[in-house]
Amino acid sequence: MNSIILLADIIQEPQLRFTSDNQTPIAELRVEFAGLRPEDPTTQLKAVGWGNLAQEIQANYHQGDRVILEGRLTMNTVDRPEGFKEKQAELTIQRIHALNGASISTSVTTEAPARAPSTPPPAATTTPKRTVKAPAAPALESQPELDDIPF
């Protein structure tokens, strides 16, 4: 399965355009992300969002925003004016998350019902934790039990 999650900075303002046949919205933007090691240069990548997600990207995300992108990676072959073909990577966005957590957009929109401001949040219920300890081996009795699993 082709899936990628990428932490990146938007370096080009998202541009919205529409397909010629059925007017499907497409948002295109360029993102930049750091290399694996500190001495590696940053890499730029074209990212594309489709449909309602494209409109949300264009409305809510701007140059300079740090985002987490989820999607799939494709390789496109482009004819260069110099007479040769070049392969370019492109990310098709399926979900985009603002790093500050203020907004989350997905290709499938699910909204939680809005709560009235005067309504207090529901109280968290806690259940007492049970710990089940296995009998210790005779040779390890002097060592403390470290394998309590919290679930």
- Supply the CATH number for residue 77's domain: 2.40.50.140
> What's the sign of the alpha-carbon dihedral 4, 76, 38, 96?
negative
Residue 60 forms part of a structural domain: yes
Say what percent of the chain tops pLDDT 70: 66
Closest CA to 58 of 25, 103, 16: 16
Give residue 25's pLDDT: 92
pTM for this predicted structure = 0.60
Residue 70 forms part of a structural domain: yes
Give residue 47's pLDDT: 93
Q: Are 31 and 10 in contact (CB under 8 A)?
A: yes
Residue-wise pLDDT for 52-111, tens only, equals 999 999 999 998 889 999 999 999 898 888 889 989 899 999 999 988 744 344 444 333
Structural domain including 85 reads 4-97
Q: Report the domain count for the chain.
A: 1
Residue 105 forms part of a structural domain: no
Residue 104 forms part of a structural domain: no
Residue 20 forms part of a structural domain: yes
- Checking if the pLDDT of 120 tops 50, the result is no
Residue 2: band (very low, low, confident or very high) from pLDDT cuts 50, 70, 90: confident
